[in-house]
Amino acid sequence: MGEAREREGWHERLPLRKLPVWQSAAIIVGVVGLAFLARLALKPAIPVGSPFVTFFPAVLLVAFLLGVRRGAVAAALSTLLGVLFFMSDPMAPGYFATAVPSAVAYAVLVGVNLTLFHWMQSANDKLRAERARSAALANTRELLFRELQHRVSNNLQVAAGLLALQKKHVEGERARAALEEASRRIGVIGRISRQLYEHDGGTRSLHALIEPMCHDVLDAAGTPGVTLRVSGGESQALPADSAIPVALIVAEAVANAIEHGFAGREKGVISVDCMSGGNGGGFKIEIRDDGCGLPDGFAMENGAGLGLRIAATLAEQLGGQFELVARRAEGGGATARLMVPG
């Protein structure tokens, strides 16, 4: 609510009904006093039958700043001053014929305008209250969303931990490896789900989603000698329904580079470049490493492991393509490439 209050314009905070009585009285006296001095200065040029000509805008200003009730006080004070100082002698012939219509017209005009001010300020009060209620609901929604996101992520991490524990009680190297891979993937999904949205509920950019996730995979692999660089994608919006498949594909590619590209090596560089798909929309992500490269005759259809096959399947579900190619002409290593059309 404090932030919503800061976003209000100064005119939206009017009228200032919460001012102390002495401050309100000082403003009323000051504004009406200025109107009195102006009327005094213009007395030679204004007919006797127009005693309130400078007081009317003063009353409107007080009503605008302080509210209709205090505007009515200013109207009463200005009426008194107009009658006492700017009307003809009460004993003069025809006094009531000029004074009464002028006073009545002034009272009607002020009454109509104060009524309009009252309606507008009441509508403004309702709008302010509705805005405060909306801000409170937005804050509550944000807190609930964060809590839900946190709980989903924690539940997935718990599931990953249970699979990791179960691995110790399973016989057979292939079964343990399958459980370990499943645990790792569920853990990645859990970390991704925590990073899907910004604090205000908006979807994250491609870069904001990919960078921390890639570093998580690198940290989990325990390879401090491998350097990871992520570039591009800061302005590329990523729909929520595409975020998890894209992040899983990139995670598989990074994990594959660490496991196979740097097998038996302590150092290396992995570069993740996020690029726009051009005028046709979409995007492209390249994961390049300077590792040992691919074996001769490698083909995704035949030589890819389960992780890369999953990545290719996820890419097809996005309507895109995933490929892994050698970088023989670029100093060795391999490039995993994800292309998703717009």
For 27, the token pair is 């403003």
* Reported confidence tier of residue 28, pLDDT bands at 50, 70, 90: very high
For the stretch 265-284, pLDDT in tens is 778 888 888 888 666 678 88
CA distances in angstroms from 265 to 37, 80, 144, 280, listed in the order given: 91, 96, 46, 40
Closest by CA position to 215, among listed 230, 235, 199 = 230
For 206, the token pair is 């491609």
* pLDDT score, position 27: 93
Q: Scanning the structure block, which residue is given the tokens 């007919």? A: 47
Percent of the chain with pLDDT over 70: 77
Provide mean pLDDT across the span 47-51: 71
Cα–Cα distance, 174 to 189 (Å, whole number) = 23
Cα–Cα distance, 55 to 61 (Å, whole number) = 10
Provide mean pLDDT across the span 111-136: 86
| Residue spans of alpha helices (H) in 17-67 | 21-41, 55-66
**How many other CB atoms are found less than 10 A from the CB of residue 65?**
18
For 103, the token pair is 């006073």
Cα–Cα distance, 143 to 137 (Å, whole number) = 10
* pLDDT score, position 269: 85
Beta-carbon contacts of 14 under 8 Å, excluding residues fewer than 6 positions away, are 64, 65, 121, 124
For 69, the token pair is 């009730």
Cα–Cα distance, 193 to 188 (Å, whole number) = 9
- Whether 156 has a pLDDT exceeding 90, the answer reads no
Q: Scanning the structure block, which residue is given the tokens 């995670």? A: 251
Provide mean pLDDT across the span 170-175: 76
* pLDDT score, position 89: 58
- Whether 149 has a pLDDT exceeding 50, the answer reads yes
- Decide: pTM greater than 0.75: no
Torsion angle of C-alpha atoms 207, 213, 215, 220, degrees rounded to 10:
-170
* pLDDT score, position 1: 45
- Among 30-34, 174-178, 310-314, which is the least confidently predicted range? 174-178
Higher pLDDT pick, 162 / 197? 162
Beta-strand relationship, 268-276 and 226-231: parallel
* pLDDT score, position 163: 73
Cα–Cα distance, 307 to 270 (Å, whole number) = 18
List 338's β-bridge partners, or say none: 285, 322
Among 32-36, 170-174, 299-303, 320-324, the range of highest mean pLDDT: 32-36
Provide mean pLDDT across the span 200-228: 76
- Whether 197 has a pLDDT exceeding 70, the answer reads no
The pairs formed by 156-159 with CB atoms below 8 angstroms and a separation of 24 or more are: 156/186, 156/187, 156/189, 156/190, 156/193, 157/187, 157/190, 159/186, 159/190
Using DSSP, state whether 118 is helix, strand or coil.
Answer: helix
Which residue ranges form the domains of the chain, and what is each CATH number?
A: 2-137 (no CATH), 205-342 (3.30.565.10)
Angle between helices 55-66 and 95-167 (to 10 degrees): 20
Percent of the chain with pLDDT over 90: 9
Provide mean pLDDT across the span 59-85: 89
Closest by CA position to 112, among listed 68, 70, 74, 78 = 68
Give the mean pLDDT of the chain: 78
* Reported confidence tier of residue 92, pLDDT bands at 50, 70, 90: low
- Whether 225 has a pLDDT exceeding 70, the answer reads yes
* Reported confidence tier of residue 230, pLDDT bands at 50, 70, 90: confident
Closest by CA position to 102, among listed 74, 77, 83 = 83
Angle between helices 173-195 and 240-256 (to 10 degrees): 140
- How far from chain centre, in Å, is Cα 283? 24
Q: Scanning the structure block, which residue is given the tokens 């498949």? A: 245
For 303, the token pair is 């030589």
- Whether 54 has a pLDDT exceeding 80, the answer reads yes
